[in-house]
Structure formats: C-alpha cells, structure tokens
Structure 1
C-alpha cells in the first residue's frame, strides 16, 4: 500500500528510503481485461543468469545470494539457504515507491523478510520495472522473476506467491493472471497475502480522498489561498514542484505532527483529533496517508488514468467532528470520473478468481491497511468463485510492515500442508500451531482465531459512485 508510514521502526527505515526518490512514473496502464488469464509466457531468451552477490549480514552465514536486472528493467535479488527445503517464496513488495527502480529496494525487502530464508525457504524479490501504482505490470515482473529462478537457479517443488501490503494486490492479481505455464503446470502452488491492500484501488483509497478534503477544510494550506487552486482528488498538478519535505512542513505548520501531543497548541491538537475521529485513522498515520493522497494520487491520475481522477467523495456524510453540519457544508466535493474508475479498476481491483489456496493475515489494528479491507476481499473471492480456497487469519498486532517472526513460518507451513495434502487450515489450527515455532524464531504469536472483521463500509464512508 505504502512504505511511507512513520510509525513502526521498520516501516520508518524502509518507508523513508522508498520515498527518497518521489517522482513521476510514466509507463502506460495495462489493457488486459480483468477477467483474462494467461499462460505464463516463456522467459525471454535475453534473460541473463543472475550473478553472485553478497547477502545481507544476518543471512551471510546460512545462504548464498544472486542478483540481476531483467529484460524489462526490474532489479531482483534471490537468496538460497544452505539447507533448502525445496520451496520458493516469490515476493511482491509493498509501497509502491515512485520514480525509477533501485536495486537497494530488494535488499531492504530481503532484510525485512529474512525469516523466510532462516526457515529454509528460497526467496526471490523484484523491484518491479517502474515506480508507481501499476499492479498488473508488477505482477508480470514477479512472474518473470519466477521463470528466471527456474531457468537459472533451481526447480522448486513448491512455489508460494507472497504479497505484502500493496504487493498483496499484486500477488492477488498475478495469481489470477497466470494460472498455467507453457507445459500446463501451475506457476504458483499457493498464495500468502500479508497486511494486504485487498479491496482494489477503486475502494481501498477512498478514505485518502476524505483525508485531503477534511484536512483542507481545517488547514487551508494544501494548497494555500495564495497558490493556484486545483482539484484535490488529482493529488497535485502535473507540474507541481512540492516535495515530501514541503508537504511535511505544511502538516507540521497546521497540526504540529512533529511535536508530542502535549506540546501542540490547543488549536493544533483539536484539528488532529478532528481528523483522527472523522477519517478514523490514528494521528500517527496522518503523515503517511497524506503522502499517498498527494504524490501517489498524482501518479495515478497523470500516468494511469489519462489525466482524470478515479477518486471522489460525492455523497459522503462525514461524522465525528465538533460540528458535522459545518464540516459537510464546507468540504470540497468531487465526483470520480467514470472512465478513470474503470481504467484504474481494470488494473488494481482483484477478480476473486484464484485457482490455488490463499491464506491471509493482518493485525486487527493495522494503521495502514485497515482490517476491514479483508472483509471486502472475502466478498470478492466469494463472488469470483474462489471463496472455498480462502482462509483469513488475524492477529493482535498494531503494525503494518511486519508482524512477528514466528507468524510467517506458521502460515507457510499451514499453507503448504494445504497445497501438499489437501488439509485446509482453520484460524484455530493456525493459532494452535504457532507456539511451536517460538522456540526457533522467538516470541510473537498473537493470532485471534475468533476475530471477524466488520464490513468496509463500517470504516470508510459510502459515496456516490459512477
């Protein structure tokens, strides 16, 4: 979803690096119909073999690493544990970052997900060929990396497609797009979606439009009255020179986000509380979500949807402020462009047609990808005919970028048993199995087997849609 949130330590370290090169990506939107599936194309003859490279320090003693750049321009990194369990985890990263891809991104991803290698899995991750919000292109890059692994590294007995955050939407799309290889086999045996943005672009980002208009109602500085006005649902005009630091300065000016709550003025704290109560997000995540509603919205509008915005707030009735009547009368209103919505949805909305087992996990207090998004994904899978192939799990965690070390090996073991033996896990069985992994990977089991998320409409305001 975004690697820009400032709250968890890991998210801060990785998110700032990902945002350092905020800029414009310019590849065209994909035109494959959402219902289409493809035979995974044969890997291009021009795909060179990966070259040996140094592993991150915590894996150097137990793995060898390989890296390269594929024919589309994406960098990638592969880690092969010395003691390999013959399983490959193919990783689709979150974010997305804006601007040209950098090899460092895959290093950061491997560092974060080193638990996979320490648990015996091979790991492969792509930077994707470009920055920006283009899901199907990222799915193609991920499939290309799988083929590079098979051709040049090893033939795994099982391949698990793993998507994290925004990358969960990439994995969900990719699992539906690529259902057979040229020889008739399935490219992916199972799918693991962690902390996922799973309601599709046409619904997952509604609250960020709400954030922009409520913030502007309260603060009047994005844009300022002395600056040229523009529709807030485009993020920024194409030629705007605002940087992430510029935006942060404006947020601090109005809300004092750079200060502890006790050091903010009464006016600043009142505005922070209004935003948190109306948009239903923690104050600590305002900065990150405003980054998305500014820079990523511009990327979507300028490079994915032909200059028109797929985001709108027409018909929203905001609640939770000191004066809701004044707020609803005063916020700017926008209608999403129907063609932009269709174009954006074609690329980003999951179809719910996945032919292999799918396991998800999310912290119930995830401040970035709301837990209610998973309720929407369940409905999508059921509508697409794949409901029986989905098991959702939830944990007590309040973080987004990483939950805990024992969580992921537990999920992978349950998922592979489902793929290998046909034994479908339950949230209860997964919760019961997790403590056995704490001896090897440390404490951190926090599954809530009885938790059921509320519908997305209970968290994000309904609105008039094209």
Structure 2
C-alpha cells in the first residue's frame, strides 16, 4: 500500500508526505495554516529559533524565508512563529515553509545568511532534500536573500519590498534624516546632554528608549497632534524635515528610530566604533532656507575601513545565476521602490539581467502585501524554475485574479510602472563618497586575503 501511494503521488506530480522528523520537535501550528499541516519548532545550536510547516499533500518545494528588521533584542521563538503566520499563504499554496529568527539581534546580513543555510541543512537531514528550494526575503530579509543567492545555490529567489541598495548606501536617507532632524530640533542630543557625532545614531551608554525618542519627535514637530493643534514652530519644523528628507510623515518616527538605535548597533556593536556613513558634499534642498540648512547641518566623512566592512557584509554584486523575481509596493514608505533600481543596476552591470524580473504593485504598505499577490508571484517563480518560461509583469497581473478568488485581498500589479533611479530619491554622495558595490571578483579577493573583513556573526 505504501509503494502504491508513493507511485500515485509521483504520477500526480506531488511529493510524497515526508517521513516523521528524526530531529525536529513538533509544535502546535498557527491557526492560519490549513488543517493537517504539521509544524516543527525549536532552537538550533547557534541559538537561532526556527519554525517549519509542512502541509498535507506537500508539493515538494521548500520556501526558505528570511525576515526583515533587524530586530535589536534577543531572538525568540515568537519571531519565527509570527513570520510563519504572516506568510501562511505559502503553506496554503502547498509549499513547505521554514524560517529562522537568526542567532542574535542586531545587524548582520551574512550572519542571517548562515542561519538560513543552517535551517536548510536541518530540514534536509530531517525530511530529505526538497525537490525544489525557493528563497523568499522580505524587507531587510530581501537584502539577506539577495546576498545568499550570490553565495549559495537555490532554484529560485523571491524578493518582496526588499532593501536592495545594500548597507553602504541603502541607509543614506536615514543618515540625512539624522542630521536634518538635529538641525531643526536640537534635542537629540539636547544641549545639556553629552555631545556625540550623529553618525553614531546614539552614544553607546545612552539609556534612551523608543518612547523617549518619540517624545522628543513630538516635542519638536507635534507629529502625534492634529495639525491645528501644532504650534507654528512645530509645523514649520515638520514641514522642513519632510520636505528635505522626502520621507512620508506616517513613517518618520520609524525612520528616526532606525537612524538612532540601529545606527548605534551598526557602529558600536558591529564596526567597533568606526563610522560607515558620510554626507560631505550633499546639497540638501526643500526647506524654507536651504542656504542656512546646508551651512548649519552637521557634516562628516566615513571611515573607509568601516564602509568596506559594511559593504562586504551587505552590498550586492548582482551575481545571480537562477531566476530572481522581485515584487515591490510602489508607495512603500519604508524601503522606497527606488531600491529596485539600485538592484537592477547591480544585476545588469554583472551581465545577469536575463535572470531578473521586477514587478510593482499599487500598494502602500511595507511589512506585508496582498496574499493574492504573494500567491501569484511564488507561482510565477515556481513555473519559471520548472519550465523555463520567464514571467512578465503583465503575465503575473493576468494570473492574479485566479488566486484572488481564494484570498480576496486584491490584485494590484501595475505592468507599466518602472521606478526612477535610486539617486532620484536619495541624495547622492558626490565623488563616490560611498564604497562602490563590490564585484563578485572583488568579494572573492577580500575573502581570501582579508578573512576577518565584514561583520562577524
């Protein structure tokens, strides 16, 4: 009977149900998953928590997920469970799913790559090698997945709302926010507090909390008040900050949070106090007095060794050899859609444009897109991998309504959209002040002759 079932499954194009796991403990599944899904969870030898879900009638494809952030606290099981819940659409479409919390909080793109690879090895030891392995990265996880695709072999890669400009220039708009905010607000730090260069984000011994930072933002701009309740000075400050930085008001607090606490993590915990950021020569515009702003804003130059290490850890060479499909919300308020232009340039410069398809949706959120869109995208990628038929934005848009009949979250692909250059949205650093993106050859040379380069796991 078991042999007959196996043959039937193969004839139907389905993978047989996996044998019971030898190593991974079973856990209760999130309620969003289909009935008769089997879930596993635990902590690996490096301290990373993981979640795995395998649906009944598994189609033989594993989706490895790399999450965004970075989270600055210690890893927890909740992180991977929350990710499984958020992307349960993958399991509902018949894919097995596995995601890691990573071994620690804080920045570290290649650390996250290693933890994702560790999870893939655990899955294979327990259930056998999947027929197909797809990698899915969301937000900063898009950077992680794109970096992993340049180092390890996957069958295909899906990047959604990805931070794809890399660490050496992907956060320049937050560098600009940090200095522009301080010019107008002068309360981060206050004149009565110990001074420090703003590229640090925050001095290492500061006890400031997220709520404390929000209170200072409110004090300066009245951002949490109704417009008519703001003072004239608050309204002016907010208008100038938004006008110069080109950031949406609704995500200004989260961008400032990143430019404070995550910058502190990058500088002090990952780069030994060295500065990877610079804004020399940047000409800021959009305020009521650009001359005074450019004269008074804090300026600094990056430490080349710090930029080199951040670049090695997270910048993308465009060295892809398998199908890569990206999907990005046109009005993403956190990782601007122009990140896709930076990635397209890296891939094109490496001569690999044939492996890349980019899709854009008329959505305006960062952390999650429509389940109907995710289902259409992963299906298009899977078909490309298995048949060689390269999708187009138009073909994904045409396929989406069939998935929307199941998920009822809407189809928003805009086949005609193409983003402008990254530099059209983010102030460029004149004279190549940022470290240029490493080529594949340069990355190999650095690894051979400078084995300790980059950010340690």
Please state how far the C-alpha of 1:62 moved relative to its aligned partner: 4.2
Match 1:274 to one of 240, 243, 246: 240
The alignment status of 1:100 with 2:82, answered yes or no, reads no
Select between 170-179 and 388-397 the one with higher mean Cα deviation.
170-179
Match 2:376 to one of 393, 410, 414: 410
Select between 156-165 and 383-392 the one with higher mean Cα deviation.
383-392
Match 1:91 to one of 65, 75, 82: 65
The alignment status of 1:460 with 2:434, answered yes or no, reads no
Equivalent position of 1:114 in the other structure = 88
In 1, are the aligned partners of 2:331 and 2:365 still within 8 Å (CA)?
yes
- Aligned residue pairs: how many? 412
Equivalent position of 2:100 in the other structure = 126
Equivalent position of 1:27 in the other structure = none
How far, CA to CA, are the matches of 2:226 and 2:30 in structure 1?
35
In 2, are the aligned partners of 1:48 and 1:70 still within 8 Å (CA)?
no
**How has the CA–CA distance of structure 1 residues 260 and 342 changed in structure 2, closer, same or farther, with 3 Å as cutoff?**
same
Q: Unaligned stretches of 5+ in structure 2?
A: 1-20, 435-457
Match 2:48 to one of 57, 68, 74: 74
Please state how far the C-alpha of 1:246 moved relative to its aligned partner: 1.2
The alignment status of 1:382 with 2:345, answered yes or no, reads no
**Which is bigger in relative contact order (C-alpha 8 A, separation at least 6)?**
1
In 1, are the aligned partners of 2:201 and 2:260 still within 8 Å (CA)?
yes
Please state how far the C-alpha of 1:153 moved relative to its aligned partner: 2.7
Select between 251-260 and 446-455 the one with higher mean Cα deviation.
251-260
SS in 2 for 1:203: coil
Equivalent position of 2:328 in the other structure = 362
**How has the CA–CA distance of structure 1 residues 78 and 232 changed in structure 2, closer, same or farther, with 3 Å as cutoff?**
same
SS in 1 for 2:286: coil
How far, CA to CA, are the matches of 1:78 and 1:267 in structure 2?
52
In 2, are the aligned partners of 1:99 and 1:131 still within 8 Å (CA)?
yes
Select between 264-273 and 216-225 the one with higher mean Cα deviation.
264-273
**How has the CA–CA distance of structure 1 residues 48 and 244 changed in structure 2, closer, same or farther, with 3 Å as cutoff?**
farther
How far, CA to CA, are the matches of 1:72 and 1:340 in structure 2?
26
Equivalent position of 1:399 in the other structure = 365
How far, CA to CA, are the matches of 2:131 and 2:160 in structure 1?
22
Give the greater-gyration-radius structure (CA).
2
Equivalent position of 1:51 in the other structure = 25
Equivalent position of 2:228 in the other structure = 262
Please state how far the C-alpha of 1:127 moved relative to its aligned partner: 0.2
In 1, are the aligned partners of 2:34 and 2:91 still within 8 Å (CA)?
no
The alignment status of 1:206 with 2:180, answered yes or no, reads no
SS in 2 for 1:138: helix
SS in 1 for 2:169: helix
Please state how far the C-alpha of 1:124 moved relative to its aligned partner: 0.5
SS in 2 for 1:310: coil
SS in 2 for 1:139: helix
Using structure 1 for the length normalisation, give the TM-score: 0.86
How far, CA to CA, are the matches of 1:407 and 1:217 in structure 2?
41
How far, CA to CA, are the matches of 2:403 and 2:297 in structure 1?
50
**How has the CA–CA distance of structure 1 residues 124 and 400 changed in structure 2, closer, same or farther, with 3 Å as cutoff?**
same
How far, CA to CA, are the matches of 1:54 and 1:396 in structure 2?
36
Please state how far the C-alpha of 1:283 moved relative to its aligned partner: 0.7
The alignment status of 1:450 with 2:416, answered yes or no, reads yes
In 2, are the aligned partners of 1:163 and 1:193 still within 8 Å (CA)?
yes
In 2, are the aligned partners of 1:88 and 1:156 still within 8 Å (CA)?
yes
In 2, are the aligned partners of 1:68 and 1:76 still within 8 Å (CA)?
yes
SS in 1 for 2:189: coil
Write out per-residue CA displacement over residues 224-243 of structure 1, whole angstroms, 9 at most, x where no aligned residue. Answer: 00011100011111211111
Equivalent position of 1:436 in the other structure = 402
Equivalent position of 1:228 in the other structure = 194
SS in 1 for 2:162: coil
In 1, are the aligned partners of 2:318 and 2:346 still within 8 Å (CA)?
yes
Please state how far the C-alpha of 1:245 moved relative to its aligned partner: 1.4
The alignment status of 1:176 with 2:150, answered yes or no, reads yes
How far, CA to CA, are the matches of 1:49 and 1:270 in structure 2?
60
Please state how far the C-alpha of 1:154 moved relative to its aligned partner: 4.3
SS in 2 for 1:123: strand
